[in-house]
A = this chain, B = another copy of it.
Amino acid sequence: MIEVVILGFGNVGQHLYNAFMHSNQVKVIQVYNRTVSVFSSEMVSNYTTSLSNIKKADIYIIAIPDDAISDFSEKLSIRKQLVVHTSGSVGMNELSGNNRKGIFYALQTFSAATDVDFNEIPICIEAESEADVKTLVKLGEAISEKVVVINSQQRRKLHLAAVFVNNFVNHLYHISAEILDKNNLDFDLLKPLITETAKKVLVLSPSEAQTGPALRNDQKTIEKHLSLLTEMRAPDGINTNLAELYQLITKNIQNLSANPTKLS
C-alpha cells in the first residue's frame, strides 16, 4: 500500500484524490488545503488546513498553481521525503532541496464539471533516484495503464504540445462558435465535424488526415474566406487578427505539405 498526502485540493488534487480512492494499492492518508471550503462537497475525512499538521507518508503530491510550487515546497517542514509536483511546465529543480524531488504529471485537462477516467491518461514520471522513479511508477500504475518516465526537458515539450491540442484547439472551436453565432447558426452543427476530426487522428497521423483549401492550394476559396473574415472585423479594432491567423495557419499547412520534415 502506497501512502499519499495530497497538498492542494483544486481540480487536479480532487481528480487525483478520486482516482486514488478507487485503487486498492493507494491510501490517501491526508489532504491539505489552505482553505476549508473545498472539502465540503467531497467525502474527505482526513483533511487539514495547517501545514504543521502534515502526516507521515510515502509520497507528498503538490497540486497547486504553477507559480506557487517553488515557494510552497520550501515552506514544508518535512525533510528528506519524496515530494512531487503535478505541473507540465515547472522543472523538477524548482522544488525545494529539503526533500527528494519528483514529478507526477497527468496529461489531461481537468475541470470540476467533468469526470475523468484516469485509466487512459498518460502519467509522466520523473525523480532523482531510481528507487523514487520506481515508487512513482507504481503509484501511476495504480490508476493508469499508461505510465511513462520522461525528463523535465521532454515534459516541457509535451506540455507545449498539449497547449496546442488543448487550449489552442479550443480557441479555434471558440472562433467557429462566434462565426456561427454572428450568422444565426447553431454551434451544434459543427459538433459531428469536431468529433470526427479528433477521432481521425486516433487512426491516421495528422499529416495523413490533413485536408482543406490550404492543402490543395485552393486559392479561390482561401481568398473568399479571407474576405469574409475581413468583413467580420470589429469596428473598435478588438480581435482584428482572424484574417492574419487564417493566413498564418494556411501558409504553415502549405509549407509543411511541401517540406514534410521541416517544421522544426
Contacts and interface: CB of A to CB of B under 8 A. Distances in A.
Given A173-B206, A185-B150, A167 B108 contact: no
Q: Is the interface of A mostly helix, strand, loop or mixed?
A: helix
Interface string A138-150: 0000000010101
Nearest to A175: B164
**Identical subunits present:** 2
Size bracket of the A interface: 35 or more
A164 B170 CA distance: 10
A224 to B, nearest CB: 6
Contacts of A162: 176, 190, 193
A53 interface: no
A201 interface: yes
Contacts of A172: 164-165, 168-169, 172
Nearest to A225: B160
Contacts of A204: 111, 113
A211 interface: yes
A105 B154 CA distance: 44
Nearest to A244: B248
Contacts of A218: 66-67
Which has the most chain B C-beta neighbours within 10 Å: A109, A156, A170?
Answer: A170
Interface of A: 66-67, 89, 107-109, 111, 113-114, 116, 120-122, 124, 146, 148, 150, 153-154, 156-158, 160-180, 182-185, 187, 189-207, 209-215, 218, 220-221, 224-225, 228-229, 232-234, 236, 238-239, 241-242, 244-246, 248-249, 251-253, 255-256, 259, 262-264
